[in-house]
Amino acid sequence: MSKKNKDRNDGLVYSTNQEYFNDYDEPQEDAETLPKEKQKLRVKLDSKQRAGKLVTLVEGFTGVPEDMEALGKQLKTKCGAGGSVKDGLIIIQGDYKEKIIAWLKDWGYVLTK
């Protein structure tokens, strides 16, 4: 072990103190879903890392995950297609860009592009 490593005391290897890491917990904010008319949703097509198959992505939803899941479920049902909601994206299998934009605007998401 070199002299440089002996003098270092900047890392913690193990601690039995259960409250040691509580200092590092970030405060949880009560996230609220923005009203429909303030949501800036972007709808685009994508085929990257999907074996060349097209999917329609809806991004930009601001709010709690449960509300985004509900919107994703509505869109999947309306399109009659599969998909998922993850990493802040609503993913719908297939090319439904124009239909989804029209439906979102009808449902009150006026800032949709």
Per-residue tens of pLDDT for the chain, all 113 residues:
555 555 555 565 666 766 665 555 554 455 688 899 999 999 999 988 888 899 999 999 999 999 999 999 999 999 999 999 999 999 999 999 999 999 999 999 999 99
- The answer to whether position 23 is within a domain reads no
In a domain, 91, yes or no: yes
- Token pair 């200092």: residue: 23
Handedness of CA 47, 51, 55, 57 (dihedral sign): negative
Query: Could you tell me the residue range of the domain that residue 87 belongs to?
Result: 32-106
Is 71 a domain residue? yes
CATH number for the domain harbouring residue 64 = 3.30.780.10
* pTM, to two decimals: 0.70
Amino acid at residue number 14: Y
Assigned domain for 113 exists: no
The number of folded domains in the chain is 1
The residues with which 66 forms a beta bridge, in sequence order, are none
Q: Is residue 9 included in any domain, yes or no?
A: no
Please indicate, yes or no, if residue 10 is contained in any of the structural domains: no
